[in-house]
Amino acid sequence: MTSPTTGDRDKVVSKLPAGLQKDLKIRTAQHGIDIQHAVEAGITAWRGLGSNLTPIDTSGARSFSTFLPPGQWEDFRNDCAARGVSIVQGLSQSVQVWLEKNPAPAVVRPKHPRRIIVCNQKGGVGKTAIASGVGEALAEDPDQLHPVRISKHFAAALSSNETEEEAGDSPLDYEDLPGLGLNVLLVDFDPQAHMTKQLGHEPLPIEGDSLTKHMAGEPKGELQDLIVPIAGDRFGGRLHLLPACTDAFLLDVKLSGVRAREAALERALMSVEPYYDAIVVDCPPSLGLSMDAAAYFGRRRTDEEPGNSGVLVVVQAEDSSADAYGLLTSQIEDLRSDMHLDLDYLGIVVNHYDARRGYIATSSLEAWMDIKDPRVVGVIGDLKEQKEAVRVKEPLLVYAPRCNQAVGMRALAREIS
């Protein structure tokens, strides 16, 4: 049937198998085009075929509507009658033709592996949650759609703390987008091993091999052998973890005797870099030599585009975070000048934000927003889902993929990409 005209196109209503509807929605999102234009192109291609296609199973077809140019639907109905196929069969074949002519695009791989250094010398701001969440968002399945808060609603999000159910009832704030599909390595660089434990793994034994030993020039094996996969169908084997070891408490002491110690982390990770599109480093709450090594690893390399790699600073909407931020940026500026580094800020993330805490939280957020270089690139709410994911030792995007925090992590990953 045809409904009244909307603009220069007619609304048409028919049926389409649920699987084809899902594939059409995902593929059009991957190519960045509207469903109506894909259906229009599919019908045009189908009508131009010289013979009928193999019938498609249309049992269980569901209601489907779209908008087509005036007259196309009537011409299509006449062609279906002439070919002896039902409208639903003809439409299904048309959609299948378009899908075959427009395969899923390949994931765009960065020329240089992205190195995201998540840091703040103040503990308790949630660096681990941000590092893990960004890594998870970068690795999500590119052949599935995931809810992302769209940028034009970013400001509105700053003043609210929605529950998961409320997030699901706010479609205007969200857009379903394909996952980014990158190969990601999470590096737990903190001797407290929070990331390792939260993702369901055990810290490396102190008597065995570790990242610290590789940085100190005392490896006991290949670094690749220490890396473990993070489970979850949505990651498809693309997300990995280099677990922490408590010997990292001694890292600064060990680095003091290492030549070119600022490059120690880079030297240690050099052997595994080629396997990853992004390496996310969860730094310890420290301003010592380990932070120097992490910052050096995140510097811009020759021929690397600005903003591909760099420092992501995690803060909270309260005064002590501002003090810690000043100390961290002073250290980064010293590194920049002393070693002549091109070290980019990827931005500031305000974590654990809750507007219900009143003036202290809201005024502090305004102060962070007033900083233009680096700018605020994400605000993550202080909600229960992250704490629950930690308790059950699952990635947030596996435990609660549609919660407000998960949606915010995806937006953050895209904001710094």
* Separation between Cα atoms, residue 126 and residue 202, nearest integer Å: 20
Q: H or E segment at 12?
A: strand 9-16
Lookup: tokens for 32: 């960045």
Q: Tell me, what's the pLDDT at 6? A: 54
Beta bridge partners of 239: 184
Helices 404-415/127-139 angle, 10° precision:
70
Q: Tell me, what's the pLDDT at 160? A: 47
Q: Tell me, what's the pLDDT at 323? A: 77
Helices 18-31/87-101 angle, 10° precision:
30
Is residue 118 helix, strand or coil?
A: strand
Residue 6 identity (one-letter amino acid): T
> Which of 105-114, 306-315, 334-343 is the most confident on average?
306-315
Whole-structure pTM value: 0.88
Q: Please write the tens of the pLDDT for every residue from 247-283.
A: 888 898 888 888 889 999 999 999 999 999 999 999 9
- What mean pLDDT do residues 325-350 have? 89
- Whether 345 and 374 have beta carbons less than 8 Å apart is answered as yes
* Separation between Cα atoms, residue 55 and residue 128, nearest integer Å: 52
Question: Domain spans of the chain?
Answer: 2-101, 114-415
Identify the CATH number of the domain defined by range 114-415: 3.40.50.300
* Long-range contacts, 2-8 (Cβ 8 Å, 24+): 2/73, 2/74, 3/65, 5/70, 6/67, 7/67, 8/69, 8/70
- Whether 283 and 190 have beta carbons less than 8 Å apart is answered as yes
Q: Predicted confidence band at 167 (pLDDT cuts at 50, 70, 90)?
A: very low
Q: Tell me, what's the pLDDT at 151? A: 54
Residues contacting 170, CB < 8 A, separation 6+:
162
* Separation between Cα atoms, residue 49 and residue 58, nearest integer Å: 20
Q: What is the architecture, at CATH level 2, of domain 2-101?
A: Orthogonal Bundle (1.10)
* Separation between Cα atoms, residue 30 and residue 235, nearest integer Å: 17
